[in-house]
Each structure stands twice: as structure tokens, then as C-alpha cells.
Structure 1
Amino acid sequence: MNKKFVIAYFICLSPFFVFAQNISGFWKGTLDMNRGCFAENNIELQFSAKGDSLSGSSYHYLDVNYYVKKKFAGVADPVTKKFIIEERVVTTFKIPSFCNVCIKRYELTYSRVGNQEFLKGGWSSILIGNYTNCDSGPITLSRIAQSAFREIPEINVDTGQIRLDFYDNGQIDNDSISVRINDQMVLTHQKLSLTPITAIIRIDLNNTFQEVEMIAENLGSIPPNTALLIITAGKKRYELFMSSSTQKSAKVRFLYEKPD
């Protein structure tokens, strides 16, 4: 092959692949859905780009308490200069009982106006289970610095039993907490100390999602109400620092991930 042609071919394609690399991160938009589950249909795509391959998670949500989370895969197409993204697996959801879950496909192109970056294009969807058409339409996503879900940690686990140990974080100041799991109260008016307050939950194919909420019953002598949560899931161990007030509780979510 002619050397000049190789150089010219590379120069022609390289800006597109720079775009593919640059879309890693968080993007937010809204969906105009005729049969949408929520009053406001927000969408957040969390991209990881490697070469021309794309992967990540999508959130379709009203707010951080009502949402559907899915994994997606995709590719940067050098011919059409589009990003083709297909949602694959529903990892978890918290939606009203009358809602249906749709799997979406996106075709997006990158653009930049000043300091703002956009992904624009269209989307289509099929109903999970029977593969009938859900809805479709245009979409514009803009890059955002942080995920709307950043305040609620999500931990993927593949074990049956999870042990939760709550300790006072630092100086013992008479903090008192209650704990809800999936909206069910399991601990009430427990004083944090150097001795753990313990709760056990199960996660498996029959219980794929567990949301743990720490509620401040008081603020102790040193506000806010803070705790160290030690999580033991099989051979894995995690530490989380949780902070809650009388206006806002602290949450962590556990998602079942089937072992390889």
C-alpha cells in the first residue's frame, strides 16, 4: 500500500476515534415517551470507551429512588461516524408496579459547541419479554461532570449472605440510628458505639436487589450522624462511611451479579 495513502487514511479516521475515546464519562438527557413510566423520563449513560468499543451502564429514571439500570455495549462506526449502543441486561430497577421495562437502542453522533459537548441522534426500544415495540424518538445528551447516582454507592456481590456492621465513626457522641432494608424497618433506635450493630441480608437470584438505608434518630453531640459500615460478603470486605441528618438519610445498594 502506498505510504502516503496510509498516512492520509489514518489522518482521516483518527479524529473520529478521538471522539470515541472522549465520550468516556457521564451524559444526561430526557426521553419524550408517549407511554413513559415516569412523569419526567430522564436518561443517563455512563460510558467507558476503548478504541472503537463502548460499554457501560444506562439509567432511565424519575429520580435516584425510581429508576431502571441496564448494562449496554456498543461500537463507534467509522463509516457512519455514529455511536451504536444497545442495552443488554437489566441489572436492577425500582419502579411502580404498573410500569414496563423497555430495552433501548441508540444511534448518536458527537458534537461540540464551545465548552459544551453533545451526543445527538435517535433511539428505539422493545418491551422486555415479548419484544414488541415500545417507543422511539430523538434524543440529545450533554456531558455532565458527575452522575446523579453518585451519592448512593452500588456494590455488586455474588454471595448469598451479607453481613452489615455499623460502628460509630470516630468519637462516641451518642448517635442513634434506625435501619431500613428495602423499605422494611429491621433495626430501630440503636446507639452507635465501638460494638457493632449488626444486620444480615440475603442476595441471590431470588433477591437480586437490596437497598440499605441508615436513618438518623438524632444527631448526637457532634452533628451530623455518622457511622462506619463494615460489609462482609463472602470473602470480600468493604468499608463505607455513612452520614445522615434529620432531613436526609444515607443509603447503599447491593446488586446480585451471577458468578462466572
Structure 2
Amino acid sequence: MRFLLLPLLLGWSVLTHAQLLTGVWGGIRTQNAGGCFPTYSTELHIIYMQNNSFMGNVYSFDNDKYTKINFTGKYNPLTNRIVIIENAVLQYNVPDSCVPCIKTYELILSRNGQAESLQGEWHGHEMGNNHDCQPGKISLSRLGKSNFPVDVYQNDTLARMQKELKLQNRQKEVVQSIPIDTAFIKIELYDNAEIDDDTVSVFLNNTLLLYRKRLTGKPLVLDVNVFPNTDYELMMYAENLGRIPPNTSLMVITAGRKRYQLHLSSTEQKSAVVKFKYERGNK
């Protein structure tokens, strides 16, 4: 049994370490001679990760000059090697003589005690053409707080749906504010008491995560990655009131070893809201 348990523990260790890539990484990105700036400040936001694949946004900035570019990436837990490929420039403000660069990063994850770092090299091509950018190096460490707004992961289908939504203007009623000590939380939504066809949409920081889902005795489940020192607001918007008004639900939040059960009630005039914040070291 001892020999069977060891691979399982090693597998759990690898999985946990991989999951911990989510969050904010910040530092310096340099560029060889001939680039627009020899040194840029950089923030890497890994907002979603599953099975060693991840996605997020990268900010490069120097005073009022900046770019925001989304990316996808892969992590090899055996070698600690990371490859990040930028996809599309979302926002930018650069001098007229400069063109944003679409980059590929090759990084190594290292750990020294509690300190974690990502270091490596990058290369790329100019936005809109295949002209090579001057390559360079990058060195990042984990940050406790971002200098930029943190996006919530949303799949393409929900993003398209949200663009078409026309929500009523309703009052928000805060049910509870919860301090958490983990970057990963599980949220389960059940119908409260009698199942009467209550239907809800759920938003996290105004980002649609569930759309017109019926509440039953089987939970609607959300697995959420959260960033440290960032405020989160989960809102339950009633799409109908069911056969027995108001629209009621039981929300179960699992955060590490802690579990919270909340009874929520939403109407056509108000939406139930739960707030939470991940504070490292808050045990």
C-alpha cells in the first residue's frame, strides 16, 4: 500500500503546483538593441488553468505607454518548462514609430523557499505583419497585487451571450462578505427547499458565468480561480421567480478546508450578492 500511495502523492503534488501558476506575476522584460524600449515593466495574469494548459493576459508598460495582449500557454510539470504564445492585442498605446509585438515566451519555473520566479527568453513578430521583433529576456516573480484590473475567465459562448444581454436595473443585496485563504473556490447552487423551476443567471465581477440555468436538487457548479487582494462580487440574477416566489437558492462555497452555506433570495427588484476576497496568510 505504501508503494501505491507514493505515486498518488507525487501526482497530487504536481497537480497542486501546476494549479498555483494562476495569479499575478510581475517583473522586467528586456529587448535587444533596435527595439522601441530596452526595458519594459511586465505583468502576467494567468486567470485560468486546466490540465497544465492555461490562458490569461500580459501587460507591458513604461509610464503611459502600454500593451495588453491575451495568451495561451502550456506547462510541463516534469521539466518546469513553460511556453506562452500571445494571440491578440486587446489594447495599446505606443509611439507612432513603434508596433506592438506578438510574442512567444520560453520560461522556466523555479522555487526558492516561498519565493517563485519565471525566467527565460522571448521572440516575436510585429502586429499585422511577419516582421521579426528584436528578441529579449524576461524575469518575473509572483506578486501579491496587480497594478491592473483582473479579468474573470469566461468562455467564448458566454462572452457572445453577454453582449446580447439586456438586464433590468436591480438593487444589489449583500448577503455575506467572506475572507478566504485559498486561490481556488468551489461554488455550488441548489434550489432551496421545494424545487419550483427557479431559473438564474450568475455573474462574477459583472462577468456572466451561468446563463438562465434551472435550480434543482443537483448543484450547478462553478470552479473559480481568484487573485490575491482582489475584491470579488458574485451576483445571482433571477430570470424568473418559479412557482413559489421569490427565487431562492442554497449556495455552498468550499474554500480550502472551510465550507459556507448561504441562503439567497432574489426578486425582480433585487439581486442577491456574495462578496469574497483572498488574503494570503489569512488562516
Q: TM-score by structure 1 length?
A: 0.51
- 1:132 paired with 2:119, answer no
Q: Once the 2 structures are TM-superposed, how far is the Cα of residue 73 of structure 1 from its aligned partner?
A: 0.7
**Cα separation, partners in 2 of 1:79 and 1:115, compared to 1, 3 Å:** closer
**Cα separation, partners in 2 of 1:7 and 1:20, compared to 1, 3 Å:** same
Q: Once the 2 structures are TM-superposed, how far is the Cα of residue 13 of structure 1 from its aligned partner?
A: 4.2
Deviations 1:137-182 (A, max 9, x none): 332101111112249xxxx9958xxxxxxxxxxxxxxxxxxxxxxx
Superposed, 1:8-19 pairs within 5 Å as 9-19=7-17
Partner Cα distance (1:15, 1:131) in 2: 41
Superposed, 1:1-260 pairs within 5 Å as 9-34=7-32, 35-38=34-37, 40-48=39-47, 49-63=49-63, 65-150=64-149
| Structure 2 residue identity aligned to 1:62 | D
**Cα separation, partners in 2 of 1:17 and 1:70, compared to 1, 3 Å:** same
Deviations 1:10-36 (A, max 9, x none): 444443332221111111121221233
Moved more, 96-105 or 133-142: 133-142
Q: Once the 2 structures are TM-superposed, how far is the Cα of residue 40 of structure 1 from its aligned partner?
A: 3.5
Secondary structure of 1:125 counterpart:
strand
The answer to whether the Cα contact below 8 Å between 2:70 and 2:87 also exists between their aligned partners in 1 is: yes
The answer to whether the Cα contact below 8 Å between 1:47 and 1:56 also exists between their aligned partners in 2 is: yes
Secondary structure of 1:19 counterpart:
helix
Partner Cα distance (1:138, 1:70) in 2: 18
Q: Once the 2 structures are TM-superposed, how far is the Cα of residue 136 of structure 1 from its aligned partner?
A: 2.3
| Structure 1 residue identity aligned to 2:17 | F
Secondary structure of 1:36 counterpart:
coil
Q: Once the 2 structures are TM-superposed, how far is the Cα of residue 74 of structure 1 from its aligned partner?
A: 1.0
| Structure 1 residue identity aligned to 2:35 | G
| Structure 1 residue identity aligned to 2:46 | F
**Cα separation, partners in 2 of 1:31 and 1:4, compared to 1, 3 Å:** same
Residue 195 of structure 1 corresponds to none
Partner Cα distance (2:88, 2:30) in 1: 22
The answer to whether the Cα contact below 8 Å between 2:24 and 2:43 also exists between their aligned partners in 1 is: yes
Partner Cα distance (1:70, 1:6) in 2: 44
Partner Cα distance (1:10, 1:121) in 2: 31
Identity, % of aligned pairs?
32
Q: TM-score by structure 2 length?
A: 0.47
Residue 178 of structure 2 corresponds to none
| Structure 2 residue identity aligned to 1:24 | T
Residue 182 of structure 1 corresponds to none
Deviations 1:168-214 (A, max 9, x none): xxxxxxxxxxxxxxxxxxxxxxxxxxxxxxxxxxxxxxxxxxxxxxx
